[in-house]
Amino acid sequence: MMSLANNITQTIAATLKKHNLSVTESRKRILQLFLEEKGALAHGDIEKRAGEKFDRVTIYRTLQTFLEKGIIHSIPTADNAIRYALCKDQCSAGHHHDHHIHFICNNCQRTYCLDDVVTPEIKMPKGYQASHVEVVVEGVCKDCK
């Protein structure tokens, strides 16, 4: 039976290979953080958890690369901060298909992707064309309830 750590290591290598990215320590560590987290992560969360090995610029560049390649997607928050979460398989470079609702818990401050709740269709007025819709719901998560 394969260990959880071994499984995560293989997932990391496969994900980076799938997106034609070289395997670097920063990419491996940051992707590992996303795989271990059940919610979304902010840049500051990653900076704290990644250890002193990686500076702010390395983390920023890694996040930008992951965004561009469709590995993670960004989630806006009420305080204009940005959180990041893993994309599902249907995302690819330049094409995010994260048409789900994001939930921010007012108690624990975690951000969750609610994959089973699809973003509602929004009818735009004549002359307007939407290219991206994001729905953020705030409340209390099931763990805090």
Quick: pLDDT tens for 50-84.
877 788 899 999 999 999 888 998 887 777 778 89
Q: Determine the Cα–Cα distance for residues 134 and 136; give it in Å rounded to an integer.
A: 7
Q: Determine the Cα–Cα distance for residues 92 and 120; give it in Å rounded to an integer.
A: 22
Q: Which two tokens stand for residue 131?
A: 């290219």
Minimal CA–CA distance to 103: which of 135, 73, 67, 143? 135
As beta bridge partners, residue 42 has: 83
Confidence tier at 1 by pLDDT (50, 70, 90): very low
Q: pTM surpassing 0.95?
A: no
Residue 64: CA count within 13 A, CB half-sphere: 6
CB atoms within 10 A of CB 19: 16
What integer pLDDT is reported at residue 130 of this predicted model?
Answer: 83
Q: What percent of the chain has pLDDT over 90?
A: 30
Domains, the chain, with CATH or none? 4-139 (1.10.10.10)
